[in-house]
Structure 1
């Protein structure tokens, strides 16, 4: 692996399990009667600095539902410098792929302890998932990891998970959109679960972009609505600003984190921004319906049937056509176009309900990747505060990544 990707580091998943399983038994999280270890694999890439990028792959036990969102309960399996790419991941993950195949087939034999059957799961953002699955990016004609939907059918609401991992593994080059063999071929496709956080973030991004397009259509003087938006952000105590890009002169604005986006979705006063109260109310109703869907995703009592119905209703509202004649008083302008539907909206409407039904014992929140992203942030801080950043004399130099992994191990021991 070092020859292929440089100064990376990895841990054997069996070693981690031999360390944490006794601790989980001691805490009552695992019991011999539990029988099965539910292991979730996740991954993410990050920019550490202007010229440094890291890719991290982690594991956690879904058996510990109350501890899943703690970064320390997501254990680093592989960490290496470089960008997210299929070839680098394939090289880095070779030992892990072998270990996961054995765990899937034979289970885990705890040293001096019990035999545990193993079920494997995968969850990450769309980019990392598509790379590991060997499928084209979200902007491809055939974009969906779970079904055969094309961009021409993106507004369809009746798609289901109609691919299988065995089919993809053996005949990926005959399946639309798939260009490489999946890396985690031992994980069934229904266990590759979408991350509700990224579903929420990317759809709110699209709703915000479409709202700005409505404002541009309403008035050509953008300074008017920009000032109104800034005042509303001040009211909500959200740091936000607009600026022009130097090279293109395109309008850009602050990229907000999840809590601020949720606050905007729930509390932003669109009537104070729009000249047309009617249009503001239309958009507000659409935002409110999406917020309801987000709440339903987080509720373990939600049924797939209920969610699918409400998601279909929301998409119908999103694509509502205009009514009446444009030159008459009874004209009601429609909402958005089919071209405005994104892959994440497709997943929300077609597949989230399926995942709710398939994984009802865990709930979708069990596949949330916010703890992985938090761990990513913590490791960036660790890189700058607690390592030599690959410095020192060449002959005595220790990889910064090895230093980070050693620091993580010491924290586990202290716990």
Structure 2
């Protein structure tokens, strides 16, 4: 049962429960709550206790906010307007039916009284007509009083007057303008403001509508310098996470700063230019892909008229999940114009949707209903932007976890976890086999199918389990995007391979220093004075500008600093294996593996020949297999988890 928190707080405030303990009077509170909502609950002591916890929280929060100040208490009351409390109780339908019948009887009495009042009103209306002339005379006398000008300051300019007198003059001017423009009410019009020119030559706006009846918007009268000042101010407030309340207090002390209301109006003016709406399931927010695409392409074409001479728009949609708290996960969706030169930078990445959920198929299938429909409509569409027409070609990108989910596949631990071919886990290390992305005879995934096993008409669909077809368990999220247009993110590939290379190198160093066994870590202390390679590895990384430390965690496990992407780029380009204390032969072998991977990484970032890249990758895989000399098959501990390298 969803109950507005405003109602809970109202009953708590008006009842006799505010200054007492709620432990012994929850039944009385339930009765008053039922009278307020005209319903009846079926609640036990446990359910009343859960409601009591929520009531205590509301009461304590209200007391704290009231002590801090009326402004915070008003904000607390305002938040209760749309807040709901879920009370898991049943409804007493018999009592509710009885209350409805009682309400029906009361409504009949009200209707009877209403008819009597209407007769009385008709009689009084004739009496009111007699008073109209008298009221008109009184209103005319009041208008004549309002049109009288103040005596003080007639010979002075308004800019030379005190702030208090300026406020009085503005109120007087506003009232006088309202009186002069009162005839507009006959045409169902209401004046909002009047533009005037002051004696100092500056334009000014006289507001005729109170702030509590209409929102003032002075953004149209801002000068270029004022707009630039507000933009810089918003940038500073957002960069240092300064709240609006904090800035309001500061602006009250320093009057040279822009007023907080003007800043709020300008922010609302900026936000009005973005069409942000909820996702279909309400778990996030989204923007229209077509609308955003038209706006982005129009800006690109205006800056570069020679953009996309083939008139083909290559749009890549990407998704990536992130964890921002213990129980809070978000999935971000963006699109990139691959024809644009900014596609490799942050400036070329445009947000589409943010969904508060894990990277799970069922949740994202409902949340992305609008985006999936737009992709279906835009794929292959001829899009007219300005004087040019483009054919839209949409790609799908992201990290491997997202692509597995988007393609309906099981997980990375599945037996067939390659999104391009039907290679099994047991065949992955066999370099003699050749797999293809397009040739079905060479194991290519021509289509993703998920067949269901029929178990008779008496079984419901929820009881039917899917038969995995090469680890495909769900339909495609974006069936309009072909397999050849699904692109694995190069950055995530680089990060994963670098993690493996670092882990294997550290395993080699641990073996040389004789700390590969967990028995040597039982003391819980890493004595680096007795080691050779591990301290040298730390010093080498620190000399090239990368902070890196080995340590023993609370569980007496060997761990080390987790490097970020830029640090891994530095390590790949500057690390010299010969400085780590290994033998000369072994150092040269490992250095060759790292150097060839650096070459492959550089080729992936540039427009290289595909056949040459394939030859480089095949040669590098063979070199890794020969150079490892069994190290690749060792099971090693990495950040508290045991993984098998292949």
Give the TM-score, by structure 2 length. Answer: 0.47
Shift of 1:230: 1.4
Q: Which has the higher contact order (CA 8 A, sep 6+)?
A: 1
User: Counterpart of 1:179 in 2: which secondary structure?
Assistant: coil
For residues 5 and 155 of structure 1, what CA distance do their matches in structure 2 show?
Answer: 45
- Looking at structure 2, the residues matched to 221 and 31 of structure 1 have their Cα atoms a distance apart, in angstroms, of 58
CA distance in 2 between counterparts of 1:3 and 1:199 reads: 33
**Given that residues 155 and 338 in structure 1 are in contact (C-alpha distance below 8 angstroms), is that contact kept between their aligned partners in structure 2?**
no
Show the counterpart of 2:571: 264
On the 8 A contact 2:589/2:627 being kept in 1, the answer is no
Highest CA radius of gyration, 1 or 2? 2
1:316 matches 2:622: yes
Shift of the 337–305 alpha-carbon distance from structure 1 to 2, 3 Å rule, reads farther
Within the alignment, does 1:150 sit opposite 2:458 as a pair?
no
Deviation at 1:242, TM superposition (A): 2.1
**Paired position in structure 1 for 2:549:** 241
Residue 82 of structure 1 deviates from its aligned partner by 2.1
Structure-2 change in CA distance of 1:22 and 1:275 (3 Å): closer
Q: Is the 8 A contact 2:450 2:473 kept in 1?
A: no
**Residue ranges of structure 1 left out of the alignment (5+ in a row):** 323-332, 347-415
Q: CA deviation at 1:198?
A: 1.5
Residue 10 of structure 1, CA deviation: 0.6
1:287 maps to 594
SS at match of 1:102: helix
Per-residue CA distance 1:357-385 (angstroms, 9 max, x = gap): xxxxxxxxxxxxxxxxxxxxxxxxxxxxx
Report the Cα offset of residue 55 of structure 1: 1.1
SS class of match (1:168): coil
2:491 to 188, 192, 197: 197
Corresponding residue SS for 2:344 = coil
Q: Is the 8 A contact 1:123 1:194 kept in 2?
A: yes
**Gaps in structure 2 of 5+ consecutive residues:** 1-277, 452-465, 517-527, 637-644
How far, CA to CA, are the matches of 1:196 and 1:215 in structure 2?
28
Change (3 A) 1:104 1:173: farther
Give 3-state SS (helix, strand or coil) of 1:320's partner. helix
* 2:536 counterpart (216, 224, 228): 228
Q: Which residue of the partner structure matches residue 281 of structure 2?
A: 4
| 1:33 Cα offset (Å) | 5.4
Residue of structure 2 equivalent to 1:92: 367
In the alignment, structure 1 residue 336 sits paired with structure 2 residue 632: yes
The 2-side partners of 1:13 and 1:91 are apart by 17
Paired residues of 1:57 and 1:77 also in contact (CA < 8 A): yes
SS in 2 for 1:263: helix
Q: Which residue of 2 aligns with 1:26?
A: 302
Task: Determine the C-alpha separation between the residues in 1 that align with 2:515 and 2:446.
Answer: 56
Give the drift of 1:92. Answer: 1.2
Give the conservation status (yes or no) of the 8 Å contact 1:108–1:117.
yes
Whether the 8 Å contact between 1:21 and 1:30 is mirrored in structure 2 is no
The DSSP-based 3-state class of the residue aligned with 2:493 is helix
- RMSD in angstroms over aligned alpha carbons? 2.8
Q: 1:10 to 1:235 in 2, by over 3 A?
A: same
Q: Which residue of 2 aligns with 1:356?
A: none
* SS of structure 2 residue aligned to 1:55: strand
How many Å separate the matches in 1 of 2:365 and 2:314? 23
Pairing 1:58–2:352 present: no
Give 4+ residue runs of structure 1 displaced > 6 Å after superposition. Answer: 163-166
Q: Which residue of 1 aligns with 2:562?
A: 255
Aligned length: 327
After TM superposition, the score normalised by the length of structure 1 is: 0.71
